[in-house]
Structure formats: structure tokens, C-alpha cells
Amino acid sequence: MGSSTSTPAPPPKKNKPEGRKADNQILNSYQKSIVRNAWRHMSQKGPSNCGSTITRRMMARKSTIGDILDRSTLDYHNLQIVEFLQKVMQSLDEPDKISKLCQEIGQKHAKYRRSKGMKIDYWDKLGEAITETIREYQGWKIHRESLRAATVLVSYVVDQLRFGYSRGLHVQGSRETKEDDEE
């Protein structure tokens, strides 16, 4: 397997119309307010319920995800998803914190590529499941700006998770190549 010494560059932040938000912000203040309200509504339904809805949707979109999420760890993952989303909501004013969190999680999951067959597109399935769950939990309250804000945030989160995952694969590949050279 060929090895490169460079690490992939982080994904660029999405371009938004000028004047809508501060330079380094993912969402403008109105969008943050909408997303926070949606999250409050979702988390009132019970955190594990929200997490299990997301997990169930992911597995429905890609059945092989169920192979990675052992039945014995489903409850754990349901709670982890909710805790992750809670941290994202708490950090909406600090996009660098969101990036770091997502990249760390993505990188930690790289080890599952070889052992369980995890693929990078599973992060997309997670994003789709989160977006659908937000739509469901908002019910009749849905309006365009709310969906747009959720989509922008989820896209950013997924891009950062994918970047961390790719970086983790790169680090693993470098380690494996080094180990092969030493043998």
C-alpha cells in the first residue's frame, strides 16, 4: 500500500451569502436560535428516543451499519449520538470546538474500517438520519429557514466527521507501512 507523508486538508467551510453571519460562524444568530429550539423540542421527547430514532434511520438506509453497531452496543450508541449532538448545540458559537469534536470522533472510528468494515459514506447516512429526525421532531413547525439551518449544520458536522475519519485512515496507513518496513 502506498504511503504519503501529507495529511489531507480539512474540508472548507460552506460558503454562505455575505452579511448573514460572522466570518467563522457556521450559522447566523437567527439560524442558531432556530436550531437550538428544535433541539430543545427533540430532547424533550427523551434523549434515548432521539438517539434510537437516528440509529434506526441509519440502519434502514444502509443495512451494513447494523454489522458495525452490535446489538449489544445500540443503547450506548443511542446515548452517545445524543451527547454528541448536545455538545454541538452547546458549541454553536464556537465552530472550532465543533470541528475538533467531530474530527476526533471521526478519527477514533477509523479503526473500524478494517475490523468491522466501516465505510466513509456511513457518515453521510448519519447526516441524513439526523436531518430526517429533525424534520420529524419539528412536525408542523417546519419552515424553510429551519430546514436550511439544520441542513447547513449537519452538512458541516458530517464534513468534519469524514475529515477526521480520513485522517485516521491516513495515520493508520502510515503506521502499517512503517511496521511493514521494519519487518
CATH number of the domain to which 50 belongs: 1.10.490.10
pLDDT tens over the chain, length 183 residues: 444 445 555 555 554 443 445 568 999 999 999 889 888 877 766 656 888 899 889 888 877 787 777 777 788 888 899 999 999 999 999 999 999 999 999 999 999 998 888 999 999 999 999 998 888 877 656 677 888 899 999 999 999 999 999 999 998 876 664 444 444
* Cα(163)–Cα(120) distance, integer angstroms: 9
Domain annotation covers residue 171: yes
Q: Is 109 annotated as a binding residue?
A: yes
Q: What range does the domain containing 59 cover?
A: 29-182
Domain annotation covers residue 131: yes
Asked if residue 171 lies in contact with residue 23, where contact means CB atoms within 8 angstroms, the answer is no
Domains contained in the chain, number: 1
Asked if residue 167 lies in contact with residue 103, where contact means CB atoms within 8 angstroms, the answer is yes
Kindly report whether the global pTM for this prediction surpasses the value 0.85.
no
Q: Please tell me the number of Cα atoms within 13 Å of 167 on its side-chain side.
A: 19
